[in-house]
Amino acid sequence: MPTEANQANALDRGAVVQTCRVLLRPIASLLLKCGMTWREFADVSKSVFVAVASQDYGLNGRPTNVSRVSILTGVSRKEIARVRTLLEQESAPLPNKTTDATRLLSGWHQDPDFITPSGEPRALPAEGSGASFTTLWQRYGGDVPVTSMRKELERAGAITVLQDGTLRAERRYFMPRSFDPQWMLNAGSILADLGASITHNLDVAAEAPSLPAVVPSKVAARRFIGRATSDSVDVEARPEFEAFVEERGQEFLEALDKWLTEHEARPASGGARKRTRLGLGMFLIADDQ
């Protein structure tokens, strides 16, 4: 069986980097909409690299040791030990590196100079030497110009301008667009399922690179991934296609749901039946221009 190193060396590094950029674009877009900075993503990414290398790349069924994780990920042994400790402490948050906007809003909700006696953020005048938005920005705004900061917070609905011209904080954390948390979890789950199937198929291909195109034992091991696209569709036909996918796609998903329900594991006389998760994901492809 090919080793991880041999598999990696067989790949064109330029192609890997380009693929990584393509994969990260929708993820970066999603996370930017949620207010996550690249520093936060870098911390999360590092912890995931360590977790995957620790759990999935052990030899002879044993957990991956620190030295091997360091070789695979490029993370120092000392840093791996620190990250592993954080991963073991489920309640411990990742390092908190917030945006300038979030830091400003947090200060507005916590700094005694900017809250009321009851602990609520005060409505602040835009300027002034005392408690004002300008002094708040000077204390917590980082290197973002005060005008740009105010406009972005207003645009995101994080602050509002009252009739008397003062500014009121509406949120404690900066999020450019509001999303239902359940929608976000679902989006992450869809990306995770697709990524897991792609990785699975790469592993299957690496294990049997010389097999014929059709080998029943291996066909069953691969997971279906396919697309039907065209780069020359009349733009006027897009609404018709969307309606077609909505109708026929829903019919297909309902048929799949019926099949899955009919094949659910039932209690057996010999004991509980072994269960597994199966399903199929579908999504419409379109270039928004």
Structural domain includes residue 47:
no
Residue 129 belongs to domain spanning: 100-169
Residue-wise pLDDT tens digits, 77-110: 999 989 988 888 765 444 444 568 888 998 899 8
Structural domain includes residue 33:
no
CA distance 167 to 212: 68
CATH number of domain containing 157: 1.10.10
Q: How many domains does the chain have?
A: 2
Structural domain includes residue 125:
yes
Structural domain includes residue 61:
no
Structural domain includes residue 62:
no
Last residue of a domain, one of 147, 169, 191: 169
Closest C-alpha among 124, 118, 147, 153 to residue 136: 124
Structural domain includes residue 115:
yes
Q: For the chain, 289 residues long, give each residue's pLDDT as a single digit of tens.
A: 445 545 555 567 788 888 889 889 989 988 888 888 899 999 999 999 999 998 888 877 777 889 999 999 999 999 998 998 888 876 544 444 456 888 899 889 989 999 999 989 999 999 998 999 999 999 988 888 999 999 989 988 899 999 999 999 998 878 776 666 667 777 788 888 898 898 888 888 777 654 444 333 434 478 999 999 999 999 999 999 999 998 898 889 888 888 888 888 877 666 667 888 888 888 899 987 5
CA distance 37 to 122: 27
CA distance 133 to 136: 5
| DSSP letters for 188-216 | HHHHHHHHHHHHHHHHHHHH-TTS-S--H
Structural domain includes residue 258:
yes
> Residue 191: what are its φ and ψ, rounded to 5°?
-60, -40
Structural domain includes residue 21:
no
Q: 83-94 in b/e burial notation, b at 16+ Cβ within 10 A? A: bbeebeeeeeee
CA distance 164 to 162: 5
Residue-wise pLDDT tens digits, 4-17: 545 555 567 788 88
